[in-house]
Amino acid sequence: MASPDVHLLSRTLLLDLYREAVRVAHPATCVPPYLPRLKDGETLLVLGAGKADAAMAVAVETYYANLGQLDRLRGFVTTRHGFGLPTRVIEIVEAGHPVPDAASAAAATRALALAARIERGTTVLVLMSGGASALWSAPVDGVSADDKQALTKQLLRSGAPIGDMNTVRRHLSRIKGGRLAQVAGSAGAAQLLTLAISDVPRDEPQAIGSGPTVADPTTLADARAVLAKYRIVPPEAVARALSDPANETLKPGAAELAAARFEIVARPQASLDAAAAMARVAGYVPVLLGESLEGEAREVGRAHARLALAARQRGERVAILSGGEFTVTVTGNGAGGPNQEYALGLASGLDGAAGIVALAADTDGIDGGSGAATDPAGAIVLPDTLARARLRHMDAEDMLSNNDSTAFFRALDDSVECGPTQTNVNDFRVILVDPI
């Protein structure tokens, strides 16, 4: 068995790789290069939603304060409860995530009202990041907040990937699916510039926060098909809304999008590349599996265990990196998240194999669980993970069956606990393989 010092070194390197992935996606790094210069007398209405939005607002304020133009800014952004930061001009509002709450609905309604009342010629800056779908929740007519909460809970428990979830959300909202751009364009915005931190597979603009400022290629029929696919019986009001043509979203080529521009300022792939470069310096050959992986967390964990064992058998010293967002089909009553379930599935698949360590964590610092800002970001797997668990009378398979990964890793002091990172480019996973 490896010495405690070896495990400490492995843990340190894993955490350093995670922090590097987060660093390159932080708003202080990625937002300023995309901010517009303001003309004489021009004002900027700032709106936004997402788990990175407090830090995005701070980056915007810092940029214009350095130009002596802080007084040109107004507006507000919405972030998750516990993710707020101090600001000077741009107000920070906190709301519910992953399940929207009353504050989510109020924030979306307020954003629409501000966009509708702009003076002709105003520039609107929209800051989008992961989590905006829940943080801006403005149900269409006839659908209550309770209806949307009930549906969101069903979708989260179904194992539906984020793309399918957002297809439904866009068609039940007055702000998603291009509707914010529609309001601002109708009010005469000179420009609507969206700066987005991507947390979605393939960096699809309509999927980031369910696309409030971009066209939506999906339809009401697609939304109904998602519910049918996952055998979700929605509240009656939701079913009616998804059959009402008035709730169709803005489509490509719409006139209201003529003044709209969309820029992605941080991508999951950039974070993987940065971590890969650090791993290479540490002596590992990076193997990138992709930034958009999807699937059932525990099953992908077992599959990645097989990849790592095969690499070790071949005598390779590699860092296997991947991003994306896995799903968890909830059947138990424990607490956890997709990264922790992945890590537990990986640990089970590795079965104590020497020379293999891993980390899986959400780059926003919170991995599912209760929805609190104190939830773990993810977990670390070491060769003695299962052995230490057995000493504490914990069985990995039993706890997986109960979806109880948080309790498992916290008992071992192997959970990644960092709190909100103020960015979000989805999940980060790395497996370090040393030949024995």
Q: What is the pLDDT of residues 259-317, one digit of tens each?
A: 899 999 999 999 999 999 999 999 999 999 999 898 999 999 999 999 999 999 999 99
Nearest to 127 by CA among 79, 187, 64: 79
Lowest mean pLDDT among 154-163, 231-240, 390-399: 154-163
Which pLDDT value is given to residue 202?
Answer: 85
What is the average pLDDT value for the chain, to the nearest integer?
93
Asked if the model's pLDDT at residue 3 lies above 60, the reply is no
Stronger pLDDT, 252 or 121, i.e. the higher one: 252
Pairwise CA distance, residues 85 & 121, whole Å: 30
Pairwise CA distance, residues 406 & 273, whole Å: 28
Nearest to 170 by CA among 232, 226, 102: 226
Q: Where are the domains of the chain?
A: 4-23+269-433, 27-138+173-215+250-266
- Average pLDDT of 131-153? 89
Pairwise CA distance, residues 398 & 403, whole Å: 9
Asked if the model's pLDDT at residue 370 lies above 90, the reply is no
Whether cis (ω within 30° of 0) applies to the bond prior to 98 is yes
Which pLDDT value is given to residue 83?
Answer: 93
**Backbone φ, ψ for residue 342 (5° rounding):** -60, -50
Stronger pLDDT, 358 or 254, i.e. the higher one: 358
Q: What is the pLDDT of residues 61-93, one digit of tens each?
A: 999 999 999 999 999 999 999 999 999 999 999
Which pLDDT value is given to residue 317?
Answer: 98
Q: What is the pLDDT of residues 403-420, one digit of tens each?
A: 999 999 999 999 999 999
Asked if the model's pLDDT at residue 5 lies above 70, the reply is no
CATH of 4-23+269-433, one of 3.30.1540.10, 3.40.50.620, 3.40.50.1370, 3.40.1480.10: 3.40.1480.10
Pairwise CA distance, residues 125 & 254, whole Å: 20
Q: What is the pLDDT of residues 153-183, one digit of tens each?
A: 899 888 888 789 889 989 999 999 999 999 9
> If one looks up domain 27-138+173-215+250-266 in CATH, what number appears?
3.40.50.10180
Which pLDDT value is given to residue 377?
Answer: 96
DSSP labels for 360-389? Answer: EEETTS--STTS-TTS--EEEE-TTHHHHH
- pTM for this predicted structure: 0.85
